[in-house]
Every structure is written in structure tokens, then in C-alpha cells.
Chains A and B, each alone.
Chain A
Amino acid sequence: AQTVTQSQPEMSVQEAETVTLSCTYDTSENNYYLFWYKQPPSRQMILVIRQEAYKQQNATENRFSVNFQKAAKSFSLKISDSQLGDTAMYFCAFMPTNAGGTSYGKLTFGQGTILTVHP
């Protein structure tokens, strides 16, 4: 079974500053994806960024980037130039991709980190 741990229940940052959210995971799978989802007060789950485990290069999406450390099973999210609209709960998620495996395609979420961006 997979577990995903987000050790920071809450974080805050000033507008325009940079913040990093932590995530660690535990798995015996070799092939998997990692995701960060954002959940604003509207409760909509929005994909922020995705990382394939077989890729060594860290994924980036505009102001969002990850630091993927496969050996350490760590997957942190960096938000640069924070904006008020980034205020939300952020979930780290893991999905194995070994076709035929019992966990194939199933997302396991961390507990979430509430991020508040202050003006």
C-alpha cells in the first residue's frame, strides 16, 4: 500500500514571495506518477503539476515547480511570485502505473496543506 505524507498542515507567505510545500511518499512500486492538486475555497480540485517518476528532470508549470527526489521519496512544490489567488489547500497525490497491478490508476492523497497568501 502507498502512503503520502504532507507534514505541514498550514503555511503562509507574503504576496510575491516564494514558498515550498513538502510531500513524502512511501511505495514499493517502480512506475508511478506524482501530482499536486489545488483546492480553493470553491472546493474544485485543480491539477497544478504532474511528474512522471521515470523522468529525472523536475516538472515546471509557469510559477510552479517541483523538486523530485526519487531516492528520498520526496516531492516538494515550489510556488514562486505567490499571488492572492494561490490561497488554497494543496494536495500531494501518488498514482502507480504498473498495468495489471492492483493499485493501477488509483490516486492516494496526502492530508493537504492549507496555504494562505497575505497581501
Chain B
Amino acid sequence: DAGVIQSPRHEVTEMGQEVTLRCKPISGHDYLFWYRQTMMRGLELLIYFNNNVPIDDSGMPEDRFSAKMPNASFSTLKIQPSEPRDSAVYFCASRWSEGVETQYFGPGTRLLVL
């Protein structure tokens, strides 16, 4: 069974540009999480969805960040406009509420904003 899939794996962009990160959760999982990892702040939960509905977006740093989950197999995290301080590794994770309480992580997207 395929794990969580994220694309792109690496993204380099210039300040002010729009960035879209994509995630495909494990089939059948009903929870999806977006995390950001930086040296300064470690791993932070940005937002999570349950059955495609955003449940908690209190970790989203500011209005420049938005996330959507139009269906059970796809989610996006968008940054517009991007800033150098957004440079980080962004992880997507998914979990099945009826199974063991474990989140499975994707490989991450390394974002560099110049």
C-alpha cells in the first residue's frame, strides 16, 4: 500500500511568489495533518482535517497560509505571497480514526524562499 505522497519534494521560489504544496493521504485515512519543521521552532502542527473538514487551524501562522481538502484523497497547502521566513520542510501526515492511533508521515516538501 502506498504511503502518504507529497509533491513537490523540493521547491525553490522567490519572495512574493505563490507556492502550492500537495498531499495525497493513505487511502481510507480520514484525518490529514499539515506540519512545518524549522530549526528554530521544531515541528509545528499547522492545520488538520477530519473527513475533509478543517478542524483546527490555530497553528496556521498568518493569512498568507491557506489549506484545502476538496476530497478524501487530496489536500493543498498554499502560501501567498511567500516570504523567506517560510523556508522550512512541510510534512503531511494521515491517520485512520478506527485504527491504531498513529500518524503516518509523507516524505516532506523542502521549501526555500529566496
Contact = CB atoms under 8 A, between A and B. Distances in A.
A, B in one complex = yes
Interface of A: 33, 35, 37, 42-47, 50, 52, 91, 95, 97, 102, 105-112
B18 interface: no
Contacts of A46: 105
B102 interface: yes
A33 B102 CA distance: 9
B108 A43 contact: yes
Interface of B: 31, 33, 42-43, 45, 48, 50, 56, 89, 91, 93, 95, 97, 100-105, 107-108, 110
Nearest to A111: B42
B43 A95 contact: no
A50 B100 contact: yes
B33 A107 contact: yes
Given A45-B93, A50-B100, 8 more contacts: A33-B101, A47-B104, A105-B48, A105-B95, A105-B97, A107-B33, A109-B42, A110-B42
